Structure 1
Amino acid sequence: MPPRFLQIVSTQPSPDAEPEFNDWYENTHVPEVLRMPGFLTGQRFRLVDSVPPFDGPQYLAVYEIESDDIDATLRTVIEMAPGRTKSQSIDTTVSIVRMYEALGPQQRRADS
């Protein structure tokens, strides 16, 4: 099985654009990302609490990727970017994108 990776994306809507941001992200952006080679799953989250208080992006998207050549996968992401739908509802000045490589198998809690 090819190695697994997680792409973690922290984002924030533009001021007064949260409904548009959520609609675009959920119904347009995530489906477009999942059409790219290697992307298996995508899920979004919203920050509900933070200790200490956090003043950064409040939204998170997590994409699971499977790839034998993550550099080639990332080049494809960049090459396909112009064809993806853009939205003014996202504040790109605070977006943070990180890629993580899995270090071991996924573990699940054992039922007792």
Structure 2
Amino acid sequence: MAEKKKYSMLVLSNPTEGQEEEYIDWYVGQHFHDLLRIPGYVGGRYYKLSDIQLGSEPHKYQYLVIWDFETEDFQAVKEDIAARMKDGRTQFIPAFDMAYWDGTFEPITKYVTSEEIKGLSVDEVHAITEVENPYRKA
């Protein structure tokens, strides 16, 4: 058996105008129910855009969900997701604006905390990230 790899999929979306309550209820209820049953999904977390931002540019999307996966065959998970969307096992409602964005990412470092790096130099921090940099020259 191949080694399971970790992935995170970010989905940025908005409710259909005037349907925020239905959108949020569906997302954290029905949609979490549907997707977390798919083999490979291990969890998810839902976010709302904060009123406090570093930049001043307007944001197109107000909501974010981060889905985490562990699988040795992400292509099979992707095909399962598509099949469930097509046959109705994953349900969508009109309150979900289908003009969403998603992207799947693979980690290239371990998760590093502020506590771990206290008192460390830049080189020491770099070493503990365990970065997998395919562009680094030997």
TM > 0.5 = yes
Q: Distance in 2 between matches of 1:9 and 1:52?
A: 22
1:5 deviates by 0.3
Q: Structure 2 regions of 5+ residues with no counterpart?
A: 119-138
Tell which structure's C-alpha radius of gyration is larger.
2
The correspondence of residues 21-100 of structure 1 with structure 2, limited to 5 A, is 21-48=23-50, 49-50=52-53, 51-81=55-85, 82-93=88-99, 95-100=100-105
Task: Quote the RMSD (CA, aligned, Å).
Answer: 1.6
Q: Distance in 1 between matches of 2:107 and 2:33?
A: 23
Q: Distance in 1 between matches of 2:37 and 2:111?
A: 24
> Identity of counterpart residues, as a percentage?
20
Q: Distance in 2 between matches of 1:108 and 1:38?
A: 26
Q: Hey, which of these two has a bigger chunk of strand by percent?
A: 1
Deviates more, 1:76-85 or 1:10-19: 76-85
SS in 1 for 2:115: coil
RCO (CA 8 Å, sep 6+): is it higher in 1 or 2? 1
Q: TM-score, normalised by structure 1?
A: 0.90
Write the deviation string for residues 14-39 of structure 1: whole angstroms up to 9, x where unpaired: 00000110000011101211100100
Moved >4 Å (runs of 4+): none
Task: Count residues in correspondence.
Answer: 111
Q: Structure 1 regions of 5+ residues with no counterpart?
A: none
Which amino acid in the other structure matches residue 17 of structure 1? Answer: Q
8 Å CA contact 2:34–2:89 kept in 1: the answer is: no
Q: Distance in 1 between matches of 2:113 and 2:4?
A: 21
Q: Distance in 2 between matches of 1:22 and 1:46?
A: 10
Q: Distance in 2 between matches of 1:18 and 1:63?
A: 21
